[in-house]
Structure 1
Amino acid sequence: MQGSNGDTQSSSEEWLLLRVGAIPRNSLGWFRCGVGFYNKKDYSKSIECFEKAVTLDPMNYNAFQIMARACIAVNRKEDAIAALKQSVILDNPSDWQLLVELTSNRE
Structure 2
Amino acid sequence: MADIEFSDLSSNLSDYVVIDVRNRNEVEDNGQIPGSHCIPLPELESAMDLSEHDFEAKYGFEKPSTSTSIVTHCMKGGRARRAGDLFKSKGYQARVYEGSFTDWKAKGGDIVPGKP
TM-score norm. by structure 1 comes to 0.32
Q: Scaled by the length of structure 2, what TM-score is found?
A: 0.30
- Considering fraction of residues, name the structure with more strand: 2
Which protein shows a greater Rg? 1
Q: Which has the higher contact order (CA 8 A, sep 6+)?
A: 2
Which structure dedicates a bigger proportion of its chain to helix? 1
